[in-house]
Homo-oligomer: A and B are copies of this chain.
């Protein structure tokens, strides 16, 4: 679907102006939104607007990095919205000329709709023109990153509160790490783009707007820091889990070893005197049974003492 929004010379907003009528209208500025365009509509980027083939190609293909290209009569931005469900980025392409803005995106985007409504309803914005609208879109898209990041922080806090030796713990941590990686793929290139916008010589951003773009840049810096910091927290969690497991394993094996080492030799001795040889003199001694019980007790006690001496019981403290 293609929708248009035109501010006329008489400072009136018109919607649904067909593309062909645009050149005839004496527009202060206009905004054309390619909202999930079908193929027939998409080719109008080239056929109607005659944008540069490289930029048009970038619109048609996915997997573009956020970027800013300078062309003679317009600037071309590729920016990313964040899909809250998949945490993948959705591409939005902006052509910003001095009196027009063209947006192009294959996914329906709440953020674009909100800006559209706000432009319609807020006369203040009408004065600012196309470049202010492009700021509003970028700002809105970046604001859309926060819920996902905060949700991950909440998940991490929840995990820290739960007991630490569940088997599913590491699955959750791994999922969070993988989400953080996905988020970073969106946030870091956007941060780099905003940095480039702020430091661009060829993009004449008036001083007032600079403050606005710096605000977005601040948000992206903060987001990138939170993501990196949470990655470190998850890697600490994993390491902590491993050392916890390692310590518990020690305790388990010491338990097994002490019990086995004490009883296995004793069981052997019992086995010896359970043999059915005809000629086993000890069996006929009067106190043979009690003597062997004594020997067994002695061996058991000595082994326990030896383990104690070796400090193996310390692990249970």
Interface positions, chain A 300-317, Cβ under 8 Å from B, are 311-312, 314-315, 317
> Is A238 a contact partner of B243 (Cβ separation < 8 A)?
yes
Q: Does A147 belong to the interface (CB within 8 Å)?
A: no
Contacts of A125 in B (CB 8 A): none
Taking the closest CB of chain B, its distance from the CB of A171, in whole angstroms, is 8
Q: Does A49 belong to the interface (CB within 8 Å)?
A: no
Taking the closest CB of chain B, its distance from the CB of A164, in whole angstroms, is 9
Q: Give 1 or 0 for each of A225-256: 1 = CB within 8 Å of chain B CB.
A: 10001001100101111111111111111111
Q: Of A10-18, A26-34, A260-268, which binds chain B?
A: A260-268
Contacts of A127 in B (CB 8 A): none
Docked pose: A257 CA to B244 CA in angstroms? 18
> Is A181 a contact partner of B276 (Cβ separation < 8 A)?
no
Docked pose: A225 CA to B188 CA in angstroms? 11
Query: CB-nearest residue of chain B relative to A287?
Result: B279
Most chain B beta-carbon neighbours within 10 Å: one of A238, A242, A271: A271
Interface positions, chain A 190-233, Cβ under 8 Å from B, are 211-212, 214-215, 218, 221-222, 225, 229, 232-233
Total residues of chain A contacting the partner, CB 8 A: 90
Docked pose: A184 CA to B221 CA in angstroms? 15
> Is A245 a contact partner of B243 (Cβ separation < 8 A)?
yes
Given contacts A229-B185, A277-B289, A278-B284, contact A69 B214 (CB under 8 A): yes
Contacts of A253 in B (CB 8 A): 249, 252-253, 256-257
> Of B69, B270, B288, B292, which is within 8 A of A268 by CB?
B270
Q: Does A165 belong to the interface (CB within 8 Å)?
A: yes
Contacts of A311 in B (CB 8 A): 165
Contacts of A283 in B (CB 8 A): 275-278
Q: Of A35-43, A60-68, A81-89, which binds chain B?
A: A60-68
> Is B276 a contact partner of A280 (Cβ separation < 8 A)?
yes
Contacts of A275 in B (CB 8 A): 270, 273-274, 276, 283, 289, 292
A interface residue numbers (CB < 8 A to B):
52, 54, 58, 63-65, 67, 69, 71, 163, 165-167, 170-171, 174, 177-178, 181, 184-185, 189, 211-212, 214-215, 218, 221-222, 225, 229, 232-233, 236, 238-257, 259-261, 263-268, 270-280, 282-289, 292-293, 296, 311-312, 314-315, 317
